[in-house]
A and B are shown apart, each in its own frame.
Chain A
């Protein structure tokens, strides 16, 4: 219990004292996770819509693959991303390894199946009368896509929150392709691993609490948005 309360106190101290390395890790975490979520949504929402809305040959196979990718360990994604981004890899010439961009790429691979699978589920669950109403009012395919996604917005927010939760708490990708470089690619999770490895459990717990606060703030913001929409 002491460890936890001491960690809590240190977390407050770290935040109040404006510790550079902590704030850098928080900034990197928020930056890369936000970009990862944004890119995952841009790519994942239309793909999820297509998967949920249309029937096509092989749909079940695609759905099974996407669902399987949900359980892909982050360390495996990190490993695959590493082999592709390292100097001898397919994308080695771009020099992305150990940059924030490489973490974003890995996290997009992590978040994309979540967005696609949950969007498809939400679109499948949308009232079947919606299509007839939209089409009957003269909507074209693009307008139907947009309106359907807007109608499924509450479910899609849950999908985004789920994806964000997984992205912001992952460590395998950030560690393997980010390299845990201080002030550059060190995220809160890699910092926790480092501090715990050094035996600095209290600092590790403090950073964990900071991570929890970041996730809490994001969730509160989304919940407020959801309440505003429903009222």
Chain B
């Protein structure tokens, strides 16, 4: 039987920036050899959490255990096995070769440097001819791939990727995704990835962690619906989607109009018509851990949500990506933040 080993254990973590609390996590366990996805709106604390997980910064309060050892007692060499690719990574004002080889030179590991740099570049889909290019001669996508190659060459035990595909073209994004999976396959690297691409996270991650205003809201399949809200004549809040459809949230008269609603996938019903249902288009269907349960992702007026549905129903109703379905959201289960 496979036993899952906890790699990180975070306890009572609080982190402050200029006296403002930006992270507040009571407990979080992250497993080894898994891909964990982090999502949440901008400013939810993802980058701060990644900075703590990579030991780039220390939390203001709380304990981080890595392989059971307190981070304060970790040796520098152990920390060097944890590598982070920040959002908008910085390339040194040097050649591509120097950038990719930089991490190895920090570790005095300079055997077969040319070959290893060449291999790392190949892994991210860049040709050997890129080696001599200067940092200023790269496009945004190429620079991102060079930065990733500089991390992959280190064969890290933990690779933390903060929105690795944001701001790059589709081709670069695809190459980056492939390179990440190759790292997982080849070196059994534990991966932490943050992204706004829920579809990608759903498909790739073993586990998802949602963050909101510095707190863990729930791990798993949750949906967030953001402001703006409109007021109905009876005072309830209404979400008006871009396509013009409206969804009334019951018992929301006392809620603020800049609130955010959190709804679990279990509280959204597909293929169910009601007085408060809306039309949605299925974008993807994939298998969850549970054998017969599928996670269906769908779009309502540009907003992506997901719900769980049994495989039998999907087959029976012949639901496919592109199919239009009626969606009923149990608004009484909405959690207002």
1/0 per residue, CB under 8 A from B, across A189-231: the answer is: 0000000000000000000000000000000000000000111
Residues of A within 8 A of B79 (CB): 138
Bound together, the chains give a CA A91 to CA B93 distance in angstroms of 44
Assess the B89–A133 pair: CB atoms within 8 A: yes
Residues of A within 8 A of B84 (CB): 132, 136
A132-B51, A132-B56, A143-B106 known; A138-B90 Cβ under 8 A: no
Q: Is A76 an interface residue (CB 8 A)?
A: no
Which A143-162 residues have C-beta < 8 A from chain B? 143, 147, 150-151, 153
Assess the A138–B56 pair: CB atoms within 8 A: no
Assess the A133–B151 pair: CB atoms within 8 A: no
Task: Select B83's contact among A130, A136, A143, beta carbons within 8 Å.
Answer: A136
How many residues on the A side are at the interface (Cβ–Cβ under 8 A)? 19
A138-B79, A140-B76 known; A133-B107 Cβ under 8 A: no
Q: Is B189 an interface residue (CB 8 A)?
A: no
Assess the A138–B107 pair: CB atoms within 8 A: yes
1/0 per residue, CB under 8 A from A, across B176-194: the answer is: 0000000000000000000
Assess the A147–B92 pair: CB atoms within 8 A: yes
Q: Is B213 an interface residue (CB 8 A)?
A: no
Kindly report which residue of chain A lies nearest to residue B92, judged by CB atoms.
A151
Task: Select B150's contact among A137, A150, A151, beta carbons within 8 Å.
Answer: A137
Which A80-102 residues have C-beta < 8 A from chain B? none
Kindly report which residue of chain B lies nearest to residue A129, judged by CB atoms.
B90
Min C-beta distance of B200 to chain A, whole Å: 22
Assess the A138–B86 pair: CB atoms within 8 A: no
Residues of A within 8 A of B136 (CB): 230
Min C-beta distance of B22 to chain A, whole Å: 16
Bound together, the chains give a CA A136 to CA B89 distance in angstroms of 10
A132-B51, A132-B56, A143-B106 known; A137-B83 Cβ under 8 A: yes
Q: Is the interface of B mostly helix, strand, loop or mixed?
A: mixed
Q: Is B269 an interface residue (CB 8 A)?
A: no
Min C-beta distance of A63 to chain B, whole Å: 21
A139-B106, A143-B106 known; A132-B92 Cβ under 8 A: no
Which B58-117 residues have C-beta < 8 A from chain A? 76, 79-80, 83-86, 88-90, 92-93, 102-103, 106-107
Min C-beta distance of A122 to chain B, whole Å: 13
Task: Select B54's contact among A129, A136, A140, A151, beta carbons within 8 Å.
Answer: A136
Assess the A138–B88 pair: CB atoms within 8 A: no
How many residue pairs between the two chains, A and B, have CB atoms under 8 Å in the bound complex?
52
Assess the A127–B106 pair: CB atoms within 8 A: no
Q: Is A59 an interface residue (CB 8 A)?
A: no
Residues of B within 8 A of A135 (CB): 54, 56
Min C-beta distance of A213 to chain B, whole Å: 32
Which of B76, B92, B107 has the largest count of A CB atoms less than 10 A from its CB? B92
1/0 per residue, CB under 8 A from A, across B274-285: the answer is: 000000000000
Which of B79, B85, B90, B154 has the largest count of A CB atoms less than 10 A from its CB? B90
Residues of A within 8 A of B56 (CB): 132, 135-136
Assess the A129–B106 pair: CB atoms within 8 A: no
Bound together, the chains give a CA A153 to CA B88 distance in angstroms of 22
Min C-beta distance of B164 to chain A, whole Å: 13
1/0 per residue, CB under 8 A from A, across B42-64: the answer is: 00000000010010100000000
Min C-beta distance of B324 to chain A, whole Å: 44
Bound together, the chains give a CA A187 to CA B107 distance in angstroms of 47
A137-B106, A138-B103, A147-B92 known; A129-B150 Cβ under 8 A: no
Bound together, the chains give a CA A73 to CA B271 distance in angstroms of 84
Min C-beta distance of B189 to chain A, whole Å: 15
Assess the B51–A138 pair: CB atoms within 8 A: no
Kindly report which residue of chain A lies nearest to residue B107, judged by CB atoms.
A138
Residues of A within 8 A of B85 (CB): 136
Bound together, the chains give a CA A228 to CA B84 distance in angstroms of 31
Residues of B within 8 A of A147 (CB): 92
Kindly report which residue of chain A lies nearest to residue B76, judged by CB atoms.
A140
Task: Select B103's contact among A127, A137, A140, A230, beta carbons within 8 Å.
Answer: A137
Bound together, the chains give a CA A138 to CA B159 distance in angstroms of 12
Bound together, the chains give a CA A230 to CA B92 distance in angstroms of 12
1/0 per residue, CB under 8 A from A, across B137-151: the answer is: 000000000010011
Beyond A136-B85, A231-B134, 11 additional pairs, beta carbon < 8 A: A136-B56, A136-B84, A136-B86, A137-B83, A137-B151, A138-B79, A138-B154, A139-B106, A143-B106, A230-B134, A230-B136
A residues touching B (Cβ–Cβ < 8 Å)? 127, 129-130, 132-133, 135-140, 143, 147, 150-151, 153, 229-231
23 contacts between A and B (CB under 8 A): A129-B88, A129-B90, A130-B90, A132-B51, A132-B56, A132-B90, A133-B86, A133-B147, A135-B54, A136-B54, A136-B86, A137-B102, A137-B103, A137-B106, A137-B150, A138-B80, A138-B107, A138-B154, A140-B106, A150-B92, A151-B92, A153-B93, A229-B93
Give the 10 A-B CB pairs with smallest separation, nearest first: A138-B80, A136-B84, A129-B90, A133-B90, A137-B103, A135-B56, A132-B86, A130-B90, A139-B106, A136-B54
